[in-house]
Amino acid sequence: MIEQVKGTQNISGNESLKYLYIQKLFLNRFKNYGYEYLQTPLLESKELFDKSIGESSEIVTKQMYELTDKGGRDLVLRPEGTSSIVRYHAEFNKDMTSKYSYFGSMFRYENPQKNRYREFNQAGVEIVGVIDNYSDFQIINDSLNFIKELIPETKLKINTIGSIADRKKYIKVLYNYFLNNKDQLSKESEEKLENNTLRILDSNNPDDEQVIKKAPKINEFINTDSKNSFTSLLQILGSSNIEFEIDESLVRGLDYYNDLTFEFITSENVVVGGGGRYDNLAEILSLGKFNGVGVAFGVERIMNNISVPDNFTKYYLLGTDINKITKYSKELDKHNISYSKPPRLSKENSQFKEAKNQNVLYLINTNEDTIKNLITNEVEKFSIEVILEHK
RNA sequence: GUGAUCGUAGCUCAGUUCGGUUAGAGCGCCUGGUUGUGGUCCAGGAGGUCGCGGGUUCGAAUCCCGUCGGUCACCCCA
């Protein structure tokens, strides 16, 4: 037996029902909100993510699926969606402000566990171009509406991390602080000191508690424009009755974020989605000067937190005589009626069983020329008019 | 990258401790019959490189080593 690749999934059975339900809701909802669906390649230049996500990030240093193609190109399977959207926007819509949605596979080379896979699906939306607080508001509002329809008790956590320049200054100060107090840091945190200083702040190791408590706060380094913009966004959210919780330790895993960051978190503390503002991403990629804000949901994380949606089939075509059942098939096709049918002409009892297992409402028995309602057990003579009346 | 744990039929699992005929069960599947309150019931049947590779042994699902995969946790993250 050839085993499947580690961390990949076969989405089948009830899981596939959930997947399609989420996908359909996502695509419909954001289409109606005015977001254009955009499908970018799964295969991208390595350079795109080296630059965008940031070379200090683990995603870039350890977690990318890299390959060289036969033409010698350095490629990766995309680890996230935003960078590609920004590349597209620069190429085709540079002077516009556009709203995009995307849905598809992402790849990260990590050890799989619950809510984490090597190939996983993200559903995301972005607003790219000239951005203001209303853009931030609608990304948060629209995606909160979406996720609450699926997981009603989802909470919004929000923070500002200041500009990239602010952050650079802050990291320097923080680095010196932790360096001087190195002896008080846990082993894990000490490892983060050189490359991922900020991450020490969300250590949950009790050994770090005291040092972190006394550490300089990012708040003191955030410029006034950023602070004011954050305050006014919070006011807008407040007056729109959107509940939020400010979480000052909330940082994102990607370096391109600035100012606004937020997360959607379930009552069981699973982060099902996250996003923020990325005003410098286009510049980092040398694609021009435009801004963006966006969010990405983990589809599998949503799947793991919802129940199986209702599922039933309206018609099942039963029969053991190939001439009769094919004649019925064509008759139904002609009237554009969709129906389930057995994969082959197995014994009648098996077909009945299959129909019941598919939660079928009407069973069309071609052996007897009848239509049976499997809920009420009413049987009537088959005619196409009876079925057309069901519509 | 680290650690724990698991891998036997389509599925859930027994058998592994302590090596020994032809590897089992339930469910599911298939066929014939039965059944119209049609998922029942009866009879029969198909289906297994015991994850893979190597080693020990007269003999390995069982012991040893390696490897791949699943699950979970750490790290990190959606």
* Residue numbers in A 20-79, CB below 7 Å of strand B: 57-59, 63
User: What is the CATH number that goes with domain A13-163+222-303?
Assistant: 3.30.930.10
Q: What is the pLDDT of residue A220?
A: 87
A356 touches strand B (CB under 7 A): yes
Q: Which nucleotides of B are covered by protein (CB under 7 A)?
A: 1-3, 7, 28-41, 49, 51-52, 68-78
Q: How far apart are CA A3 and CA A158, in angstroms?
A: 42
3-class SS shares of chain A: helix, strand, coil, % to 5: 40, 20, 35
Alpha carbon distances (Å) from A296 to A101, A272, A275, A370: 10, 9, 6, 50
Task: Give the DSSP letter of residue A151.
Answer: S
Q: Starting at the edge strand that comes first in sequence, how are the strands of the sheet with A43-45 ordered?
A: A43-45, A74-77, A65-68
Q: For residues A110 and A7, is the Cβ–Cβ distance under 8 A?
A: yes
Q: What is the pLDDT of residues A17-54, one digit of tens each?
A: 999 999 999 999 999 999 999 999 999 999 999 999 88
A57 CA, B58 C1': Å apart: 59
How far apart are alpha carbons A77 and A117 in whole angstroms?
14
What is the layout of strands, in order, in the sheet containing A119-129? Answer: A36-37, A98-107, A119-129, A291-298, A271-277, A258-265, A155-160, A245-246
Q: A21 CA, B30 C1': separation in Å?
A: 34
CB atoms within 10 A of CB A24: 11
Pairing of strands A370-373, A360-365: antiparallel
Please choose, from the candidates A303, A307, A253, the residue with its C-alpha nearest in 3D space to the C-alpha of residue A122.
Answer: A303
Mapped onto helix, strand or coil, the DSSP state of residue A365 is strand
Domain map (residue ranges) of chain A: 13-163+222-303, 165-221, 315-390
pLDDT at A65: 95
Q: Cβ of A320: how many Cβ atoms within 10 Å? A: 14
Distance of alpha carbon A249 from alpha carbon A201, whole angstroms: 7
Output the pLDDT for position A208: 77
Within 8 A by CB and 6+ apart from A150, the residues are A22, A25, A302, A305, A306
For A115 and B77, how far is CA from C1' in angstroms? 10
The answer to whether some atom of strand B lies closer than 7 Å to the beta carbon of A193 is no
Is the C-beta of residue A253 closer than 7 Å to nucleic acid chain B? yes
A195 touches strand B (CB under 7 A): no
> Which residues of chain A are under the pLDDT cut of 50?
none
CATH tag, A315-390: 3.40.50.800
Q: Read off the tokens for A15.
A: 């899981």
Residue (of A216, A129, A207) closest to A170 by Cα position: A216
